[in-house]
Structure 1
Amino acid sequence: MPSCLALIWDPADPDAAAAASDIDRCVRRGAPEAARHAVSAGCVLHDLTSGTTGRHVLSIPAGEVSGAVFGRLFRRACARIPVPPLAILDQEAGRRIASSRGASLMTDYWGAYLAFLACSDGTVVLTEPTSSIPCFYCQTRGVTLVFSHLEVCPLPDWIRFDPDLDFIANLLAYDKIQPGQSGLRGVRELAGGCRLHVSGGRVRKEALWDPRQVARNALEPAPEEAAACLRETTSCVVRTWGQACPHLALNLSGGLDSAIVAACLMQEPGALDMRAVHFILRGGDPPEAAQARAVARDLGIELAECLIDPADPLPPPDCHPLSARPFREFLGRRADAERRQALGLAGRTVFTGQGGDHLFLETRDPLIFADYLRRHGPGRRAAHELLAAARLSGESVWHVLAESLSHLVAGPRETAAIRSIRERQTGLNRLTHERLDASDLLPVWACVPEGLPPAKFAQVSGLAHMIQIRESLALPGTDETVHPLISQPLVELCLQLPAYLLCHGGRGRGLVRQAFAGRLPDQIRLRRSKGDASRFYTEQLKANRDLLADTLMNGALVANGLIDRADVEAALRPGSYGVDTFGRMILVCYVIEAWLGRRTRRNAAP
């Protein structure tokens, strides 16, 4: 997993310079193989990625302004042609990046990166819009630390982090919130598409990329042209990632999105060393193996299969990395790596089809008709679009018409993102919900539509969840994960296409289904059902009940009054944890408890 740490300080401040020197020495002792890059007299960047020799850092030459890009950077080009990651930036490109204070990175390039620019009035840090690489920052003794993965940063003992219990309480409501905080007091998260300006020990941040602004610049070609554009852009970003990571293992779920990724990669089969793997969840859920096999057979991909038993033990609570916040992937990441190693897939970049539901728009929202009326009014195609919205939602045309007109007359209601948080209330997190304002947990663009029509805004607000799909833990022995669909050019195209066009023909993801006609088996391309793992998780809870009960009932969450011991007992009572009102929330609590308990014990140690 690409990981980095940057130190930023004022070289004219002797105390800050001494602190930066001490931190720098500690990092070099603790990570002797890390590549160190001096960005300026007051900024140094450490590439902490396991096993690298600095291949993740690209210098920005710009005369008086110096800088570096950490990660992978691709130049925007023709949507049909995949491009290799940039190995060098010329002086002209560097000057353009510098003169825009990094903003041109988001218009002229895309990828997975953090950027650092040393300017005359301070240092600028930028995150790319999809936030593929996490970015956290804090300040101590005049030094600003910017890091992707705290768990791999070898810092001196005098830097201590205390848990932020208010943030932890909010995580119990929804563990993928993005309020700009972290699980540690004084540590902030820089969201995707933002710029942080550090000068004289002060920081200021601003948003450069707003998905609502992208969506307002709508494109509405004819369905056939839109399908071709969507297919070409999808193929381009997936194949670009394939060129950057040619030794890969694709998670082939049997669903539409991973099948689309497979079809794009197999356009140039000789250029890749690719295998696919399908994980079979025991527990009684409908199997997806037949669909995965059909895709692999049709595309000529070697497919490995791996059984996962719900009775497998959960990772011990004291194994959660000392990261900046709890992450749900703690539950299965190490076990996943061990399974891949047993299948001979270790060392390969993991590719997934994650993000497709959000971008290609898997929805049953009748308000796609309201979107159409907002854009076109009651024209000659209105009846056709009304029928399509009824087909999509499974409601009568009268219901769709009433809902759409009500929305157009009465205006915006509670947003889908906020409603989904409110609906997550269970017996376990009721204490949090009693004082919660859900709008504080999400970026403003996920809460305020700013004139977007309702179905398009629902898609925009859903990006807040999609972005948190990223792999956020740097664990030893695990391979890098890439979600090629969550790439800026494809994200922006899907935001620009109207919701009713993405749902062409009254089908969720209808446009992309049309786009890949003839490239995928119809049993995959046209299927509407989705895989379900609810029985697997119920059996997993049953098998690990004693561990869950002991950890939660005697842990830091109860000790700090964030959950109630009696609520834990009720949630783990036989017959309760298979019910939706508790469901996987128990596992989320376990992850948060594992992180908080370990961080608390670490801070109590002498």
Structure 2
Amino acid sequence: MSGFVALVWEGTGAPVAAEGLVRALDAQPQLAPRASAPGLRVWSWGRWSLAVRRAGAAAIVGDIYGAVPEADADLTPRRWGRALIEGAWGRYVAISPGAGGAPPAALRDPSGALEAFAWRRAGVWVVASGFEPLPARLWPDEIALDWPAVVDCLERPLAALAQTPLRGVQALTPGRLLHLGRSAAEEDLWRPSDFVGAAAPADAAAALAGRVAQAVSVLSRGRERALVEVSGGLDSAIVAAGWAGGGGRCADGFALNYAGDRPEGDERTWAQALCQELGLRLAVRVKRPRPWRVADLAWGSGAVRPSFAGLDADRDADTAALARRTGAGAILSGGGGDAAFFQAPSPKVVADYLAAKGIAHAFDPFVQDVARWLGRSIWSVLLASARGREGAPRLAMSRFLRAEARSAGVGRPHPWLADAEGLPPGKRLQVAALVAAHEGYGPSRRAETAPVLQPLLSQPVLELCLAIPAWTHVAGGVDRGLARQAFADRLPPQLVVRRAKGSLTSLYARQAAASLDVLRPLLLDGALASAGVLDRDRAAEALTAERLMRDGEGLALLRAVPVEAWVRHWQARIPDAAAARR
């Protein structure tokens, strides 16, 4: 995965510590110096090169489109960052020197497409996408495993996306400015809640089609040789249609579909119909259960936090290999579409509708459509929509954690969710889904090979989708109803009206059952069980071939696999804070 590292300090002259760190980074053969300014140095690494541009005294890592203001002595980092977000968008991390008495600051763009973390080393701030390939002398002054945050990775994954399980390392939240002074104070410059309730366009479908087409076109510009993932579902089809409509052609003529080896996971019929409609040739890879190897499960364990983006190791490695073989400059994905377009079936959309229209509209056709969609009576839907806020659903992983561990997490909500408390219920659900989509940006084998572009999570698309009411998104009582309407003239009719979705649960159950000689010792005799986080007895009961094939409950334990590998990696390298009960 391509990455970057920047050193930031206050003042025009480099302190002695900064000079030593600069020399250490210059000595790393994998690192290429990319930008230099008073109080700022930037390097990059990786198979594909991240763009780095100067904007006055500031540096912007990644791709940015639109009006980019130059940072100077008259613009504090806050004012500059706000101007940047309002005038431009992209996949970037911006680093601004101090001005007007304010310390330097770093900003991760609202899409969150590039990972970014910050820590202090010998009085100098380090802002980077990760640790690799940094020498240990660049690691934080005080670094240790943070067990409550490790628990959050399993029990509260949305909260975990705003933190790291390494003490001394701070995650940059998308749309938030991190002030790099003596302490790291954060400030919101972009929040999903700012766009909820904004005036939605009169023709929402046309606006959505135009905004998505623009995002796909701009992000893929100059990357005509791309792999386009086509799952057979709606979201990836919309991205493929936007790319093909902009004159793009897949690398060596390929769109890419992964089909399960059983009918319930084989969606190639819809992928073939799409590619025939768009004039794209389709490469179909049939997935079959292959036992996992330890190397598969431990890949990426040296990252700042556990990564779930490459958990399907076979598919991830195969996509990366195909991208290398065809020289693809990007991998286009429909990731995040279920959140942006509102896929989740829920009576909460009725609560939003009645809050806006009034209780006299309780029996409107829309409410009846939602009841049919959910397979419930209209009275049941109305009752559920009128209830107070529902508690967060328990993850399937929760039952495999010891009670002491479940209560030991950090427990702080993700800033986007804390800020969404006053939003209508349906919109809170949408914001939570958008937070969850950021898991897809973690390290993966395919992202090492080429940029993974997710246009449906781009800032312009998010801002429009947040402004559109939840009930408009599910017009007609259909998940992603507005998106279906917006792209009906560009997609095969059978795909637009399709409601079902393929399932690979059987394949993963068979693969897990074939991998028990690896999974059982990894989890039952591992660091999580030793620390009192994982309930060894419950895990052992679920990790049997019979149970996996019968009810698949043990598949929830797969989330613990990258966390276990990550903990083992870091226990061998840094102090263990030992905050878990042992």
Q: Distance in 2 between matches of 1:197 and 1:228?
A: 39
- Asked whether 1:490 is paired with 2:490, we answer no
In the superposition, the TM-score normalised over structure 1's length comes to 0.86
Structure 2 match to 1:46: 43
What one-letter code is carried by the residue in structure 2 that aligns with 1:43? Answer: L
Query: 1:226: how far off?
Result: 1.3
DSSP 3-state at the match of 1:269: coil
Percent identity of the aligned residues? 28
- Asked whether 1:18 is paired with 2:21, we answer no
DSSP 3-state at the match of 1:290: helix
Query: 1:142: how far off?
Result: 0.7
Over residues 402-446 of structure 1, what are the superposed CA-to-partner deviations in whole Å (9 max), with x where a residue is unaligned?
333x34xxxx4135xx22xx24354422336641578x2531432
Asked whether the equivalents of residues 26 and 155 of structure 1 are also in contact (C-alpha less than 8 Å), the reply is no
- Asked whether 1:172 is paired with 2:154, we answer yes
Asked whether the equivalents of residues 281 and 309 of structure 1 are also in contact (C-alpha less than 8 Å), the reply is yes
Over residues 133-161 of structure 1, what are the superposed CA-to-partner deviations in whole Å (9 max), with x where a residue is unaligned?
11111112211111112233334287573
- Asked whether 1:104 is paired with 2:83, we answer yes
Q: Distance in 2 between matches of 1:425 and 1:272?
A: 38
Over residues 165-223 of structure 1, what are the superposed CA-to-partner deviations in whole Å (9 max), with x where a residue is unaligned?
22112222144543632121111111110001123x332211221211211324262xx
Distance 1:322 1:176, change over 3 A: farther
Structure 2 match to 1:187: 169
Q: Distance in 2 between matches of 1:242 and 1:524?
A: 24
Structure 2 match to 1:345: 326
Asked whether the equivalents of residues 152 and 474 of structure 1 are also in contact (C-alpha less than 8 Å), the reply is no
Over residues 417-476 of structure 1, what are the superposed CA-to-partner deviations in whole Å (9 max), with x where a residue is unaligned?
x22xx24354422336641578x2531432564432211221122221112222435789
Q: Distance in 1 between matches of 2:176 and 2:439?
A: 16
- Asked whether 1:481 is paired with 2:478, we answer no
* Aligned counterpart for 1:515 among listed residues 480, 486, 490: 486
Asked whether the equivalents of residues 280 and 288 of structure 1 are also in contact (C-alpha less than 8 Å), the reply is yes
Q: Distance in 2 between matches of 1:479 and 1:94?
A: 37
* Aligned counterpart for 2:200 among listed residues 211, 215, 219: 219
Distance 1:333 1:118, change over 3 A: farther
Q: Distance in 2 between matches of 1:216 and 1:90?
A: 28
Query: 1:270: how far off?
Result: 5.4
Over residues 274-324 of structure 1, what are the superposed CA-to-partner deviations in whole Å (9 max), with x where a residue is unaligned?
631111233663311111111111111021111222224245255434111
Asked whether the equivalents of residues 285 and 534 of structure 1 are also in contact (C-alpha less than 8 Å), the reply is no
Distance 1:558 1:383, change over 3 A: closer
Over residues 473-524 of structure 1, what are the superposed CA-to-partner deviations in whole Å (9 max), with x where a residue is unaligned?
5789532211111101111111110111111111111111111122111111
Q: Distance in 1 between matches of 2:200 and 2:447?
A: 44
- Asked whether 1:428 is paired with 2:410, we answer no
DSSP 3-state at the match of 1:35: strand
- Asked whether 1:459 is paired with 2:430, we answer yes
Q: Distance in 1 between matches of 2:482 and 2:447?
A: 40
Structure 2 match to 1:258: 236
* Aligned counterpart for 1:383 among listed residues 343, 364, 378: 364
Structure 1 match to 2:546: 575
Over residues 33-89 of structure 1, what are the superposed CA-to-partner deviations in whole Å (9 max), with x where a residue is unaligned?
51331132x22111224353xx6111112xxxx10111110117xxxxxxxxxxxx5
DSSP 3-state at the match of 1:386: helix
Distance 1:472 1:390, change over 3 A: same
- Asked whether 1:4 is paired with 2:4, we answer yes
Distance 1:171 1:524, change over 3 A: same
Structure 2 match to 1:57: 52
Q: Distance in 2 between matches of 1:450 and 1:158?
A: 36
For residues 60-99 of structure 1, what are the structure 2 equivalents within 5 Å?
60-61=55-56, 66-75=57-66
DSSP 3-state at the match of 1:469: helix
Which is worse superposed, 480-489 or 379-388? Answer: 379-388
* Aligned counterpart for 2:380 among listed residues 396, 399, 418: 399
In the superposition, the TM-score normalised over structure 2's length comes to 0.90
Asked whether the equivalents of residues 77 and 105 of structure 2 are also in contact (C-alpha less than 8 Å), the reply is no
DSSP 3-state at the match of 2:104: strand
Structure 2 match to 1:81: none
Asked whether the equivalents of residues 2 and 133 of structure 1 are also in contact (C-alpha less than 8 Å), the reply is no
Asked whether the equivalents of residues 308 and 559 of structure 2 are also in contact (C-alpha less than 8 Å), the reply is yes
Asked whether the equivalents of residues 320 and 449 of structure 2 are also in contact (C-alpha less than 8 Å), the reply is no
Structure 2 match to 1:85: none
Runs of 5+ consecutive residues of structure 2 not aligned to the other structure: 577-582
Asked whether the equivalents of residues 242 and 272 of structure 1 are also in contact (C-alpha less than 8 Å), the reply is no
Q: CA RMSD in A?
A: 3.0
* Aligned counterpart for 1:324 among listed residues 299, 304, 316: 304
Query: 1:563: how far off?
Result: 1.8
What one-letter code is carried by the residue in structure 2 that aligns with 1:31? Answer: P
Which is worse superposed, 22-31 or 5-14? Answer: 5-14
Structure 2 match to 1:230: 208
Q: Distance in 2 between matches of 1:36 and 1:454?
A: 45
DSSP 3-state at the match of 1:22: helix
Q: Distance in 1 between matches of 2:463 and 2:177?
A: 19
Query: 1:393: how far off?
Result: 2.2
Asked whether the equivalents of residues 368 and 499 of structure 1 are also in contact (C-alpha less than 8 Å), the reply is yes
Which is worse superposed, 500-509 or 442-451? Answer: 442-451
What one-letter code is carried by the residue in structure 2 that aligns with 1:3? Answer: G
Query: 1:109: how far off?
Result: 0.8
Q: Distance in 1 between matches of 2:497 and 2:236?
A: 14
- Asked whether 1:589 is paired with 2:568, we answer no
* Aligned counterpart for 1:141 among listed residues 119, 122, 137: 122
Which is worse superposed, 314-323 or 345-354? Answer: 314-323
Over residues 105-140 of structure 1, what are the superposed CA-to-partner deviations in whole Å (9 max), with x where a residue is unaligned?
111111110001112332111111121111111112
DSSP 3-state at the match of 2:163: coil
Q: Distance in 2 between matches of 1:429 and 1:26?
A: 42
DSSP 3-state at the match of 1:245: coil
Asked whether the equivalents of residues 151 and 406 of structure 2 are also in contact (C-alpha less than 8 Å), the reply is no
Q: Distance in 2 between matches of 1:393 and 1:513?
A: 18
Asked whether the equivalents of residues 145 and 166 of structure 2 are also in contact (C-alpha less than 8 Å), the reply is yes
Distance 1:2 1:307, change over 3 A: same
Q: How many pairs were matched up?
A: 570
Query: 1:264: how far off?
Result: 0.8
Asked whether the equivalents of residues 178 and 184 of structure 2 are also in contact (C-alpha less than 8 Å), the reply is yes
Q: Distance in 1 between matches of 2:72 and 2:29?
A: 32
Structure 2 match to 1:208: 189
For residues 512-551 of structure 1, what are the structure 2 equivalents within 5 Å?
512-551=483-522
Q: Distance in 1 between matches of 2:403 and 2:421?
A: 32
Structure 2 match to 1:246: 224
Structure 1 match to 2:257: 278
* Aligned counterpart for 1:414 among listed residues 380, 390, 409: 390
Asked whether the equivalents of residues 258 and 285 of structure 2 are also in contact (C-alpha less than 8 Å), the reply is yes
Runs of 5+ consecutive residues of structure 1 not aligned to the other structure: 77-88
Distance 1:263 1:92, change over 3 A: same
Structure 1 match to 2:271: 292
